[in-house]
Structure formats: structure tokens, C-alpha cells
Amino acid sequence: MPVQFWIKQTVLLLILMVVFYINFYILIPHLLIRQRVWPYVILTLCLIIFVTVLNSTIDSYFNLNGFMFRPRLPRPDHFPRGIHPGHPEHRYRFDTFVPGMNLLMICLGVMVSFIQKWQQELTLRQKLEQEKVTTELTLLKAQINPHFFFNTLNTIYSYTLSDGDVARTAITNLSKMMRYVLYDAADRQTPLSKEIAFIQEYVELMKLRITRKTSVLFDASELQNEVMIAPMLFLPFVENAFKHGVSSISEGHIAIWIIQDSDFIELLVRNTVYENRRAAEDGSNGIGILNTTRRLDLLYPEKYSLTTGMINETEYEAHLKLFL
């Protein structure tokens, strides 16, 4: 190959690079992305034609057709009469390689540009979805916390009218629970031991307002190892049991079990349901349970099981299982 051939190939490579970047940074963002298809097609065709003409000019300048297409035996007597390496028949031979390469560069630019745009849109959608989930979780947690404090303050208020010592004890327990809600539960996850301690404080607080007619059992198995869970997941189910399972007239019971295994954490809450409250149990469980179910869908998709409902004529059960 003559030196002119390699010079021309270098120039052609630079031209193809220029075509790619003009298409990628100018034509696609300003025309194709903005859905101005016909101006984009016309300009790309003009670009291909310009580069093809420029390539032919370069070939003519270096006389490459004469070098590349001369006969295998370069002796003068082997050329047809009137035909020589610089003859126009060789000089202006049309080359389809350059338009094809230009079209390839343009298609490559379009492909890379749309892949980048698709990745950016995918990242943006994921970011927006994450922000939406975070905002929804914050809202759900904000709805659960006031609901819990509202019920607890009502209990303490009743004590202030009847028994000051019990009210003071209740306020002490409430302050410990508020510390957990304001500081530990503000994070996305909390240690299981703290969640269990919080439930135990709540149970002790609720025991102050119930009579001997209602028996309360709280059993948390010894932790095998510390794990992190979403805070205040158990409270609505326990709170619901004390809301519907307490009576000052009829006998009843509330039983709470928290069990940890190597693969799951299990909460089981059972409470007596009295005849005048059965319709309420069969209907809505209140904002706390509904919000907690939504939180479970967001935080533990396909990694939890929850069943709630009457298991016999007088007993209601909530069974939550989190798979680690």
C-alpha cells in the first residue's frame, strides 16, 4: 500500500469521528430528541453527501484510484491503450464504503444517545419512586404516632381524676416510650430488642387501666441474635387488642407472643371479642392497622405474611410473620 493510502485512511477516520460527534451532540439533541424528524433526516443526508464528496476529492488529490485499481502487472504495455493510473476511469470510481460508514456512525450515535436517554429516564423514575415511597412511609409513620399518643394520653387523663400515683407511673412509662418514638423510631430501622422493650412498656402502661376481669400475657422469646426491623410495626396490633379486648364486666384475655427464629420474626396477638364489639372487629381495624399493612407492603414486599380475623366466636387473632 502506498503512503497516500494510510494518510487518506487517517483522514477518513477523523472525518467519521467528526460525523459521529456532530450527530451525537448537535443533531440528535436539537432535532431528533425534540421530535423534529424531517429536518434531522435532511441534515444527516446532507452530511453524508458532503462527506462522500469530500472523500472523492481526497482520493483525487492523492490519486488513490490510480494506485489501487491498476493492473497486477504494472508494466506500461499491460495497460489498455489510453488507460493509465491517473486516467479519469480510475480517478472517479464511486466508493460506497464511505457513505455506508457515515450511515453506520449516524446509526451508532442514535443508538448510544437513546440508550443514554433511556438510562437517565430509568434512573429518574427509580429516584422519584424511592422519594415517593420515603414520603409515604414518613406520612404513615406520622399518622401512627399521633394515634398512639392520643390513646395513651386519654388513659393517663382518666388516672389523673382517680389515682394520682398510677398517673405518675403512667407518665414515667410514657416518657420512656416517647424517647423511643422520637429518637429510635425516627430511623428506618431499629433493633428488635428495642422494639420488644417498647411493646413491653406499652403493655405495662395498659395494665394500669384494666381490671382483673382481663388477664394479660406477654411472652417474648429470648433473642437468638440482634436483628434490625422497621420501628413500630407491632404496636398497632397490640394496641388493637387492648382497644377491643378489655371489659370491666365480662371475663376476657389478651395474649401477645413475639417469637424469633433464624429465618423469621413472628408476632401473635389474641384477644377476647365481646358481643357488642364483634361488628367492629369484623369491619375496619382502624387507621393504625391499615397504615401498618401499607408500610409492610412498602418495606417488606413478598417478605411477610399477615392474617387477621376471628378464629372462633369470641376470639380475634392477628398473626404477623416477617421473613428475614
Q: Are residues 313 and 218 in the same domain?
A: yes
Q: Classify residue 222 by its DSSP letter.
A: P
| Closest to 196 (Cα-Cα) out of 173, 218, 169 | 218
Question: Within 10 A of 136 (CB to CB), how many other CB atoms are there?
Answer: 14
Q: Are residues 88 and 8 in the same domain?
A: yes
**How many domains are there within the chain?**
2
Domain around 52: 3-124
Q: Looking at the predicted structure, is the pLDDT value of residue 149 above 80? A: no
| Closest to 5 (Cα-Cα) out of 84, 102, 70 | 70
Mean pLDDT of 228-238: 86
Mean pLDDT of 202-215: 83
Q: Are residues 186 and 254 in the same domain?
A: yes
Q: Are residues 173 and 119 in the same domain?
A: no
Q: At what angle do helices 97-162 and 192-207 cross, to 10 degrees?
A: 30
Q: Looking at the predicted structure, is the pLDDT value of residue 14 above 80? A: yes
- What local confidence, expressed as pLDDT, does residue 160 receive? 78
Q: What are the residues whose beta carbons fall under 8 Å from the beta carbon of 103, sequence distance 6 or more?
A: 48
Q: Provide the CATH number for the domain around residue 260.
A: 3.30.565.10
Instruction: Specify the 3-state DSSP secondary structure of 245.
Output: coil
Q: Which residue has the cell 422469646?
A: 221
Instruction: Kindly report the average pLDDT of the chain as a whole number.
Output: 77
Q: Is residue 308 part of a domain?
A: yes
Q: Are 191 and 228 in contact (CB under 8 A)?
A: yes
Domain boundary among 124, 145, 171: 124
Q: Are residues 38 and 184 in the same domain?
A: no
Q: Calculate the CA 240 to chain-centre distance.
A: 32
Please list, residue by residue across 299-309, b when 16 or more beta carbons sit within 10 angstroms of its beta carbon and e when fewer do: bbeeebebebe
Q: Is residue 137 part of a domain?
A: no
- What local confidence, expressed as pLDDT, does residue 98 receive? 74
- What local confidence, expressed as pLDDT, does residue 79 receive? 43
| Cα 236 from Cα 148, distance rounded (Å) | 8
Indicate the range of 32-36, 90-94, 111-115, 224-228 predicted with least confidence. 90-94
Q: Are residues 101 and 192 in the same domain?
A: no
Helix segments in the chain, DSSP class H: 3-22, 37-62, 64-68, 88-91, 97-162, 164-179, 192-207, 235-244, 278-282, 286-299
- What local confidence, expressed as pLDDT, does residue 268 receive? 95
- What local confidence, expressed as pLDDT, does residue 295 receive? 81
Sheet with 252-260: list strands edge to edge. 214-220, 252-260, 264-272, 315-323, 304-310
Q: Is residue 210 part of a domain?
A: yes
Model pLDDT for residues 97-106, shown as the tens digit of each residue: 777 777 888 8
| Closest to 138 (Cα-Cα) out of 72, 74, 170, 185 | 185
Domain boundary among 100, 124, 148: 124
Q: Is residue 17 part of a domain?
A: yes
Instruction: Specify the 3-state DSSP secondary structure of 267.
Output: strand
HSE at residue 267, side-chain half, CA atoms within 13 A, is 22
- What local confidence, expressed as pLDDT, does residue 92 receive? 45
| Residue length of the chain | 324
Q: Which residue has the cell 477518513?
A: 12
Beta bridge partners of 220: 258
- What local confidence, expressed as pLDDT, does residue 101 receive? 79
Beta bridge partners of 257: 219, 268
Q: Which residue has the cell 488513490?
A: 64
Q: What is the percentage of the chain residues whose pLDDT exceeds 70?
A: 77
Q: Which residue has the cell 453524508?
A: 48
| Cα 113 from Cα 125, distance rounded (Å) | 18
Model pLDDT for residues 46-59, shown as the tens digit of each residue: 888 888 787 777 77
Write out the three cell numbers for 12: 477518513
What is the value of pTM for the model shown?
Answer: 0.56
Q: Are 93 and 83 in contact (CB under 8 A)?
A: no
